[in-house]
Structure 1
Amino acid sequence: MSGVDEWCLIESDPGVFTELIRGFGATGIQVEELYSLDPECFQNLKPVHGLIFLFKWVSDDFSDGTLLKDQNILSELFFAKQVINNACATQALISILMNCHHDDLKLGQTLSDFKEFTRFFDSGMKGLSLSNAELIRNVHNSFARQQMFEFDGKSKKKDKEDVFHFISYIPFAGRLIELDGLKEGPYDLGPITEGQDWVAAARPHIEKRMQKYSTGEIHFNLMAVVSDQKMVYNKRIKELEVKGTEEAKAQIENLKMMISDEDVKMHRYKTENIRRKHNYLPLIIEILKTLGKEGKLVETFEKAKQKAIQIQQKKKEKS
């Protein structure tokens, strides 16, 4: 059985989540960060398969939906209770992947086997199974931050303002569903009519959560799980090549530039993730040793301390 401390905290970043997907063995899907809920922000990302929302968790957390009761839907929907600490990022992502039936997504062997294995489990057993899924846990923990010291578990407890949580929103069986592993089950946020943009239906529910926080405070982050953008662009190019018109040729050139932009972005993601995973502690220790030998350690510490105080003061003044 996995211990609660065996899962690390995950940064809310599209590059991290995209690499998690690849690490699980799934293809045809990537994650994009959203800076607004305006419809135009989603226009170039369609199809959107799910939304991952990070927010500051509070004890009076709510859902403006109702607990899903439809057994026909529940029997087909993957929902796992969160029974392990720090796993909500991976759990929110897997909740979308397991419930996505789009042709672009290929789950891969690991997730397909896990889905089949847990098919008839209740939500609690699915959560326990996830906690013991070694490959999934290892991929998740590949983003663990290196620590110079091991601390007593009691000192790891955080105040409420430091507790953040990930949940998912998906369209499923004609309903808008909220998946939160800390709740007793999936929440039904209402019907999605034929032809309706499900993201537009989710927007007011997400906005209600955002409105809980004071103006100027940033306690949330939103990411979209979308089809692999290069794959989408290449499909569109093939469609346009059949037309052969001048307008189609111009669109193809634009799509080729967008593919190039995707290559640059994925290279940046890869570089950033390598840096996230790299162990800088030996370098830091050597720098500290050198500063100590040269008698500059205390002086450097005091300068850094004053700079940190100034930054905090500016933040307070800005607020």
Structure 2
Amino acid sequence: MATDSQLIPQKQYRKSFIPLESNPDVFTELIHELGVSSTLCFQDVLSLDDEELLAFVPRPALALVLVFPSSSTYETHVAADEAARPDYTGSSDDEDVNWFKQTIYNACGLYGILHAVCNGKAREHIALNSTLSDLLAKGLLLEPEARARVLEDSAELESAYRVVAQKGDTEPPENPEEVVDFHYVCFVKSHKNNHLYELDGDKKGPIDRGAIDEDQDMLSQGGLELIREFVDRENGGNINFSLMALVPAG
């Protein structure tokens, strides 16, 4: 089971959800419930280096969602990095990426999903008049705090999430405020400038991680290097990483 780290104070969360299991079937069901076409799904990525295992993942990979237990090494790195970063204030439907500030506790899986499907070419697979298209229409012209409120106030989003969060291979906690110390980070490719972005609702905003070629996807060398950076930072002390990709459905 994966949920939020203690990177920001509890008081900045305004409501709580039951944490979502790190499970591609669960993730896929939720995006379809929210209005993403059945042409997309999430799939586990079992290796960063084994070409045969990577070949099992359909391409192009439109987004990556990395799941890992928060460590003191990670939190120290984030604290130093965030201290030098200004708060993001973007409020446009034509930003390089669409980013959502997290104000719902234990919902970092949901924010990872939203960041994956609301950016790059994945956004083209969102059905008109769906929950997601309505949320984007209401929220993208708003600054981050007001945009966050749109997610908080969506009864349709909460209802779909509540049903799916009860599924998976592990029993979800009864208390949505229970701390289960895992974290999700999403990586996407901008539809505007072919830059890779790190998207984490617990941080101050989207992080530009540099450009890749137009014909490269998130499982190209540039995307894989971003994931290796997170793994290598732990110096072998944290092996409980898992990775999912948003890909074409078979």
> Is TM (by shorter chain) over 0.5?
yes
CA distance in 2, matches of 1:213, 1:73: 37
- Deviation, 1:178, is 0.6
Identity %: 25
Equivalent of residue 87 in structure 1, options 79, 97, 107: 107
CA contact (8 A) 1:177 1:188 kept: yes
1:167-206 alignment, distance < 5 Å: 167-172=185-190, 173-199=193-219, 200-206=221-227
Q: TM-score scaled to structure 1, two decimals?
A: 0.60
The code of the aligned residue for 1:16 comes to V
Distance 1:125 1:212, change over 3 A: same
Equivalences for residues 99-118 of structure 1 within 5 A: 99-102=119-122, 105-108=125-128, 109-118=130-139
Which sits farther off after the overlay, 97-106 or 22-31? 97-106
CA–CA separation in structure 1 for the residues paired with 2:53 and 2:151: 33
State how many pairs are aligned: 219
| 1:34-54 CA distance string (max 9 Å, x none) | 111135444441011100011
Do the aligned partners of 1:52 and 1:166 also contact (CA within 8 Å) in 2? yes
5+ residue gaps in structure 2?
Answer: 1-12
For residues 32 and 215 of structure 2, what CA distance do their matches in structure 1 show?
Answer: 31
CA RMSD of aligned residues (A): 3.2
The residue that corresponds to 1:31 in the other structure is 42
Aligned partner of 2:118 in structure 1 is: 98
Compared CA separation, residues 180 and 146, structure 1 to 2 (3 A): closer
Which string of whole-angstrom CA distances, capped at 9 and with x for unpartnered residues, describes residues 103-125 of structure 1?
A: 97233521111111112111222
In the alignment, residue 95 of structure 1 is paired with which amino acid?
Answer: H
The separation in 2 between residues aligned to 1:131 and 1:139, in whole angstroms, is: 13
Structure 1 equivalent of residue 9 of structure 2 = none
Conserved in 1, the CA contact under 8 Å of 2:126 and 2:132? Answer: no
> Residues 156-171 of structure 1: matches in 2 within 5 Å?
156=178, 158=179, 162-171=180-189
Matched, 1:218 2:234: no
Q: Look up the SS of the partner of 2:120 in the other structure.
A: coil
Deviations 1:214-248 (A, max 9, x none): 5374322100001122xxxxxxxxxxxxxxxxxxx
Helix, strand or coil for the counterpart of 2:239? Answer: coil
Amino acid in the other structure paired with 1:4: K
Native 8 Å contact 1:80 1:123 kept in 2:
yes
Question: CA–CA distance in 1 between the matches of 2:175 and 2:65?
Answer: 31
* Cα separation, partners in 2 of 1:225 and 1:60, compared to 1, 3 Å: same
Aligned residues of 1:34 and 1:224 also touching (Cα < 8 A): yes
The gaps in structure 1 that reach 5 residues or longer are 230-319
Q: Which has the higher helix share?
A: 1
Residues 114 and 175 of structure 1: CA distance in aligned 2, closer, same or farther (over 3 Å): same
* Bigger radius of gyration among the two: 1
SS in 1 for 2:44: strand
Contact 1:50 1:170 (C-alpha < 8 Å) held by counterparts: yes
User: Counterpart of 1:178 in 2: which secondary structure?
Assistant: strand
